[in-house]
Structure 1
Amino acid sequence: MDKVRIGLIGCGGFQRYRVGNLLKVKDAQIVALADTSDDQIAAMRNAHAATADLPAYHDYKDMVAEGGLDAVMIATPHTQHVDQILFCLEHGLHTLCEKPLVTSVTDAHRVIAARDKAQKQAMVSYQRHFQAEFRYIREKIRSGEAGEVTYIAALQCQGWKKGTKGTWRQEMSLSGGGQLNDSGSHLVDIMLWSTLLQAESVSAKIDHRGTEVDIDSALSIRFRNGALGTITVVGDAPKWHEDITIWCENMMFAIRQDQGLTVTYADGSRFKAENLIGGSTADQNFVDAILGKAALESPLECGLEVIRLTEAAWKSAENGGNSVAVDSLG
């Protein structure tokens, strides 16, 4: 194929942002839109002239049935992802889904099985896989230079509770969870992806702060290699802030808000890692994988590992913070 013909499922604010990136991919062509809201379709057309004259559908199934698609890009309320992914794969379409992939471990296994059956490219959009600092950390750990990972600590703060008030993100039936599986999903993913760790057990305390969904979450984790870690997500903060530290036998990596990456060696010497080489983008990688030019760098298995840890945290919090074995979830 000369260009990958892509249909958009969902035309909301984040999808409109994503389209700005997708339009930079020369081998991609957006050919159709789907959203249940006329207002969101109109907003997409107004935001991007390239979509102004494209056919639009209220039901994504009608868009798929019309034909003429090679792939879809999904950005919809989280609990809708699983049915949309399954339908598109069953109809032979490559599928890119915004995070979180799904809202349960069971559904993660379902979409992976559907991908394997369809033999199509399927990706969860974790953009940080292409960020230079995290690629650097992953390579140092994968090569063995950093030594074994022994501890991680990650903090994310955001005015999520205030910013999402009155939206579907605070409705459990549509979101499937709160900040931990929304913007917190990026934090959980990048800690697992960059360190190559898998969670073994999780103990968590969660505060819904008077809402249907998790707002503040404190997770204590043991990983399969014996490493320990904490992930803290604060959803009612005055502004965005992140702080990530990864301790290894030979190196320590620290990413502080607006301060980049600092690397410390076992002898105490330290330097700020600058001029690092990043990757492409999630959109470029997805299209390149369809065309056989690259391997997917954020496959569905990444979404599976994130929801395994996240669901374990939810179950732990429901049971007073008692430890939950991740493997017990499947």
Structure 2
Amino acid sequence: MSGPRTAAVVGCGDVSTVHLEAIAAVDGIDLVAVCDTDPAARAATAERHGVPGFADHRTMLAETSPDVVHICTPHHQHADVAVDLLDAGVHVLLEKPVAHTLDEAARVVEAAERSTARIGVCFQNRYNATAQAARELLASGELGAVLGAAATVMWTRTPDYYRARPWRGRWETSGGGLLINQAIHTLDLVQWLVGDVTHVDGHAATRFYSDVIEVEDTAELLLTHDGGARSIVYGSLANVAHSPVTIDVTAERGSLSIRGGLTVTRADGRVETVPERVAPSNGRTYWGVSHEVLIRDFYARLDDDEPFWISPREATKSLRILTDVYARSGIGPHAVTPSHL
């Protein structure tokens, strides 16, 4: 980072916690404003951090001129805010998903590619020690060709989770349920580790929370990757507890298993382990441990000539996968012909 940067956060909901913690922890970043349409959330966050609070991001931008804005709003607000900021030449760090629909994601991609500002999307689990080690090992070719993967996301939610933030359970505001709001990180890691997805099959449905939400709480996917590898993914929020996310990758000469830490089992019987880092936070444990690592890296790369490596175009890959599943399942506004990746 060439010098001190000023930052602002738009959206003072739950996930803003880890962004605000990272801004406070990283030397050379000064928080200058927060923004939220909810007066109580805005006032509480502004008072806690000793900065002005704004109800509108355009007013905030005009009065405080931050170098970087972190967008932590509900999904359906991502594109409008991101496009406004990029067109104003302001750097953007955007929480996942890139947008709640593919059309809105395309708007962000177009704005990013015409802007001189940088934008990154928070797929922070790519920065996990386990994911980085797995990616490096698979890319090295030591284990031979990757044959495929199997992954699970089996968590639980309560009706109060949705009632507290009604946007989470609606197609119009969230763009989906389990797949876009929880399992998207796992979908992103599977395609990042195994390869770009060229075909999607699967089904999504509301198995348990149909009296509370209109979006899906359970899904199963079959993914075909570039080169022919095959992966399966299962997720549900109807589990009675939070089970660890699992990702198992099978290659010609060994396998990888991520269950908290990473276990590498080679064909000759050797076993290696890579522990995951620990990152104390007031945020939810299932958000992982790597938000601060990603945020540090984003700020360090602001003067790079190349776009940030987790760009809107890159982040659209996982959105396209889950949108195909919605289309195949005939649910939500995505009940149209699948895109056939």
The answer, yes or no, to whether TM exceeds 0.5 is yes
Please state whether the residue corresponding to 1:281 is helix, strand or coil. Answer: helix
Q: Please say if residues 207 and 214 of structure 1, whose CA atoms lie closer than 8 Å, have aligned partners that are also in contact.
A: yes
Distance apart, 1:294 and its partner CA:
9.5
Q: What one-letter code is carried by the residue in structure 2 that aligns with 1:234?
A: S
Shift of 1:301: 2.8
**What's the counterpart of residue 85 of structure 1?**
82
- SS of 1:205's partner is strand
Residue in 2 that maps onto 1:117: 114
| SS of residue paired to 2:152 | strand
Distance 2:336 2:148 in 1: 21
- Which residue number in structure 2 is paired with residue 176 of structure 1? 175
Q: How many residues align?
A: 319
Deviation, 1:324, is: 4.4
1:250 maps to which residue? 253
- In the other structure, the counterpart of 1:310 is 322
Conserved 8 A contact 2:32-2:64 = no
Contact 1:5 1:71 in 2 (8 A): yes
Instruction: Quote the offset at 1:180 in angstroms.
Output: 0.6
Equivalent pair of 1:161/1:235 in contact (CA under 8 Å): no
Superposed displacement of residue 275, structure 1: 8.1
Tell me whether 281-290 or 60-69 shows the greater mean CA deviation. 60-69
AA of the residue aligned to 2:124: Q
Q: Match for 2:191: what amino acid?
A: L
Partner of 1:150: 147
Q: Name the amino acid aligned to 1:287.
A: Y
**1:244 aligned partner, one-letter code:** I
Return the offset for 1:62.
1.1
Higher alpha-carbon deviation: 80-89 or 66-75: 66-75
Q: Once superposed, what is the RMSD of the aligned Cα atoms?
A: 2.6
8 Å CA contact retained: 1:245, 1:255: yes
Match of 2:203 among 205, 212, 217: 205
Q: What is the identity, as a one-letter code, of the residue corresponding to 2:180?
A: N
Cα deviation digits, residues 28-59 of structure 1 (max 9, x gap): 1111111001211233245x4xx22x121111
SS at match of 1:244: strand
Q: Which runs of 5+ in 1 are unaligned?
A: none
User: Aligned equivalents of 1:22 and 1:326: distance in 2?
Assistant: 40
Partner Cα distance (1:121, 1:228) in 2? 34
Aligned mate of 1:283, from 289, 295, 302? 295
Which of 207, 216, 219 matches 1:217?
219
Contact preservation (8 Å) 1:312, 1:324: yes
Query: Within 1, Cα distance between the matches of 2:197 and 2:141?
Result: 20
Q: Distance in 1 between matches of 2:57 and 2:313?
A: 25
Instruction: Decide whether the 8 Å contact of 2:129 with 2:274 is kept in 1.
Output: no
Q: CA deviation at 1:67?
A: 4.6
After superposition, the Cα gap between the structure-2 partners of 1:221 and 1:228, relative to the gap in structure 1 and judged at 3 Å, is same
TM-score, normalization: structure 2? 0.86
- Partners of 1:4 and 1:29 within 8 A in 2: yes
Q: Deviations over 1:262-313 (max 9, x none)?
A: 111123432323489x987111111111144997342223311111111111
**Cα contact 1:251–1:266 (8 A) shared by 2:** yes
Question: For the Cα contact (< 8 Å) 2:89–2:117, is it kept in 1?
Answer: yes
How far apart are 1:77 and its partner, in Å? 0.6
Instruction: Name the CA shift for 1:294/1:261 in 2 (closer, same or farther; >3 Å).
Output: farther
Tell me the residue number matched to 1:234: 236
Cα distance in 2, alignment partners of residues 43 and 294 from structure 1: 37
* TM-score, normalised via structure 1 length: 0.89
Aligned-partner residue type, residue 97 of structure 2: P
Matched residue type, 1:34:
C
Q: Does 1:267 align with 2:263?
A: no
Q: Distance in 2 between matches of 1:323 and 1:227?
A: 24
Structure-2 change in CA distance of 1:161 and 1:204 (3 Å): farther
Question: Quick one: distance in 2 between partners of 1:289 and 1:307?
Answer: 25
Structure 2: distance between partners of 1:322 and 1:124: 27
Structure 1 residue identity aligned to 2:4: K
Whole-Å separation in 2 of the counterparts to 1:187 and 1:104: 19
- Equivalent position amino acid for 1:10 in 2: G
Structure-1 separation of matches of 2:307 and 2:150: 30
Residue in 1 that maps onto 2:192: 193
The alpha-carbon deviation at position 236 of structure 1 amounts to 1.4
1:202–1:323 Cα contact (<8 Å) kept? no
Tell me what 2:281 maps to.
none
Aligned mates of 1:84, 1:45 — CA distance in 2: 20
